[in-house]
Amino acid sequence: MIQTVHCVDLLRGGVASVLFSYASACEDISFNFISIATVDEEARKRVDAVGGRVIADGIGSTGELRAALTAARKVTGANIFHVHRNWHNLLPAKIAREVGYPIVISHSHNVFPSTSRLKDAYHAVFRRLIKRYVDECWGCSPEAIEFLYGRNPKNSLFLPNPISFSSFCFSPERRAAIRDALGLGDALTLIHSGLPIPQKNHRFLLRVFRGVLDANPDAKLLLLGPDEENDEWLVREAELLGVRGSVKFCGYVDKVSDYYAAGDLFLFPSLNEGLSLALCEAQAEGLSFIASDEITRASDLFANGVFLPIDRGPDIWTECILSGDFKRKVPTVDQINSCPFNVEWCSPRLEATYAALQAGEAHSSILSIWGGVA
């Protein structure tokens, strides 16, 4: 069993889902976690379910981070330290090298627009320094790799966000039962999944839905992630726009496939993404989608989506929803088997890559195996 230590900002959201998917599928890899944010009980159950451990969480200082990395290496005997904090990868990587991890991996999970010259200067310094402390520069897409490390990353590897297609088994009977349980009737049902953070662009999404309701008063919007109790700002936004009665704040859901089966169209107006697992999983359930044109085209797995700008206002999104002929296209067995995002394809390659690194051997870049972007 190869022991690994993964440092994350929090054990919720897309990055956590990616790691849990790999942890479930990789029989020869043990995933142990250090979380900067406090880990809640639900996330701890998910860690337990994949045979992992939360070594430390709620870390508020450099000293605490150093102590956590030291303890993780002592407790697990791990040789591999894998950090998933994007521009904040530098400090954990430096500490990991100092406390004796033989293998240090930096992972890019996102693409952010430039917001200031000061940040641009930090990014330039980061790209020079990260090569000192890490052995590998990984990312969830070619865009994410270039964004974080520049044009000449050190030992880059494109590791896909994995999809467990066996968890997505659409059937009309299941869809009807779920829609009945959710009280959707025959209403046009739009769906979005994502944490209630600025990057996910929920305010824009609600404005799009306002336009849809004007033309189709029975339409519904399911929001997976936000909940009424903890995200009052988003509830207020829905009330101000007059759409509150047609929006279901579903909160964290354990089985997203049920909601994707119930939906008619997946909307994803993010300001930026590395490569969204939620968007890929929606397609695994056969949903068509409309996504921001800021998102990598590698996320269109089965040519079943439309990419639209978000800087020209919500009206073009509304018009596309109302005028488009979006049909569910459940992927075929051949499409599933040939999809490089299939966890059954990805997980053996991750296991082989970790094993090669631990043995001091070279590994192949998944990007070169694909011959380009899938």
pLDDT in tens, 197-245: 898 999 999 999 999 999 999 999 999 999 888 899 999 999 999 999 9
**Across 104-121, average pLDDT:** 88
**Across 260-289, average pLDDT:** 93
What is the per-residue pLDDT for 365? 56
In which band, very low, low, confident or very high, does the pLDDT at 369 lie, cut at 50, 70 and 90? very low
Amino acid making up residue 83:
V
Of 347, 331, 330, the closest CA to residue 339 belongs to 331
313-326: pLDDT as tens digits:
999 999 999 998 89
Q: Given the structure tokens 């070279």, which residue do they identify?
A: 362
CB 9 within 8 A of CB 85: yes
Token pair for 184: 């959707």
Which uninterrupted H or E stretch holds 171? none
**H-state helical runs in 134-245:** 142-149, 172-182, 202-215, 232-240
The residue with greater pLDDT, 69 or 368, is 69
**Across 82-91, average pLDDT:** 97
Q: How distant, in Å, are the alpha carbons of 246, 279, 319 from that of 182?
A: 12, 22, 26
Residue 124 has pLDDT above 50, yes or no: yes
CB 217 within 8 A of CB 252: no
Residue 370 has pLDDT above 50, yes or no: no
Q: Provide the CB-side half-sphere exposure for 258 (13 A, CA).
A: 12
**Across 244-253, average pLDDT:** 94
Whole-number average pLDDT of the chain: 92
Distance of CA 236 to the CA centre of its chain: 26
Give percent of the chain above pLDDT 90.
Answer: 80
CB 75 within 8 A of CB 55: yes
Token pair for 200: 């996910």
DSSP symbol at 165 = G
Residue 372 has pLDDT above 60, yes or no: no
